[in-house]
Amino acid sequence: MKGQTSGSYTIILRLEIEPAVPFIRIANAVHETGGEIAAVDIVSKSKNMTVRDITVSVSNAENEAELIESVSKIPGIGVVNVSDRTFLMHLGGKLEVHSKVPIKNRDDLSHVYTPGVARVCMALHEDPAKAYSLTIKRNTVAVVTDGTAVLGLGDIGPIAAMPVMEGKAMLFKEMAGIDSFPICLNTKNTEEIIAIVKSIAPVFGGINLEDISSPRCFEIEERLKRELYIPVFHDDQHGTAVVMLAGLINALKIVGKNMSDIKVVFSGIGAAGVACTKMLLAAGVKHIVGATRSVGIVHRGAAYDNPMFQWYAQHSNPDNVTGSLSDAIDGADVFIGLSGPNVITVEDLKKMARDPIVFAMANPTPEILPEVAEPYVRVMATGRSDYPNQLNNVLCFPGIFRGALDCQATAINEEMKLAAAYAIASIVGEDELNEQYIIPSVFNNRVVETVRKKVIEAAMKSGVARKIPHGFA
Ligand X SMILES: O=C(O)C[C@H](O)C(=O)O
Residues that bind ligand X in the complex, under the rule CB under 6 A: 151, 164, 211, 235-236, 363, 383, 392-393
In this chain, which stretch among 125-133, 192-200, 358-366, 406-414 interacts with ligand NAD, using CB under 6 A? 358-366
Q: Which residues have CB under 8 Å from 100's CB, separation 6+? A: none
Question: Using CB atoms within 10 A of its CB, is residue 150 exposed (0-12), middle (13-18) or buried (19+)?
Answer: buried
In this chain, which stretch among 107-115, 311-319, 361-369, 408-416 interacts with ligand NAD, using CB under 6 A? 361-369
- Choice between 231 and 239, CB closer to ligand NAD: 239
Please state, in angstroms and rounded to a whole number, the distance separating the CA atoms of residues 331 and 56: 42
Residue 78 beta carbon to ligand NAD: minimum distance, rounded to whole angstroms: 40
Please state, in angstroms and rounded to a whole number, the distance separating the CA atoms of residues 154 and 132: 36
Asked if 236 is part of the footprint of Mg ion (rule: CB under 5 A), the reply reads yes
Residue of 9, 137, 168, 453 marked active site: 168
- Helices and strands in the chain, H and E counts: 18, 14
Residue 95 contacts residue 169 (beta carbons within 8 Å): yes
Three-state DSSP class for residue 102? coil
Which residue number places its CB atom closest to ligand X?
363
In this chain, which stretch among 70-78, 355-363, 438-446, 458-466 interacts with ligand NAD, using CB under 6 A? 355-363
Please state, in angstroms and rounded to a whole number, the distance separating the CA atoms of residues 250 and 447: 15
Region of 34 please: left (phi>0), alpha (psi -120 to 50) or beta: left
Residue 320 beta carbon to ligand X: minimum distance, rounded to whole angstroms: 31
Please state, in angstroms and rounded to a whole number, the distance separating the CA atoms of residues 156 and 147: 6
Q: Which does 271 bind (CB under 5 to 8 A by kind): ligand NAD, ligand X, Mg ion, none?
A: ligand NAD
Residue 32 beta carbon to ligand NAD: minimum distance, rounded to whole angstroms: 32
Q: Which does 268 bind (CB under 5 to 8 A by kind): Mg ion, ligand NAD, ligand X, none?
A: ligand NAD
Residue 164 beta carbon to ligand X: minimum distance, rounded to whole angstroms: 6
461 classed as catalytic: no
Asked if 389 is part of the footprint of ligand NAD (rule: CB under 6 A), the reply reads no
Please state, in angstroms and rounded to a whole number, the distance separating the CA atoms of residues 73 and 32: 13
Binding test (CB under 6 A) with ligand NAD, winner from 34, 147, 206, 273: 273
Asked if 151 is part of the footprint of ligand NAD (rule: CB under 6 A), the reply reads yes
Q: For residue 450, which of 419, 412, 406 has the smallest C-alpha distance? A: 419
Residue 425 contacts residue 246 (beta carbons within 8 Å): yes
Asked if 358 is part of the footprint of ligand NAD (rule: CB under 6 A), the reply reads no
Report residue 454: phi and psi, to 5°.
-65, -35
168 classed as catalytic: yes
Asked if 145 is part of the footprint of ligand NAD (rule: CB under 6 A), the reply reads no
Please state, in angstroms and rounded to a whole number, the distance separating the CA atoms of residues 234 and 249: 22
Residue ranges that bind ligand NAD, judged by CB under 6 A:
149, 151-152, 213-214, 236, 240, 268-273, 292-294, 338-340, 343, 361-363, 383, 391-393
Residue positions annotated with a catalytic role: 113, 168
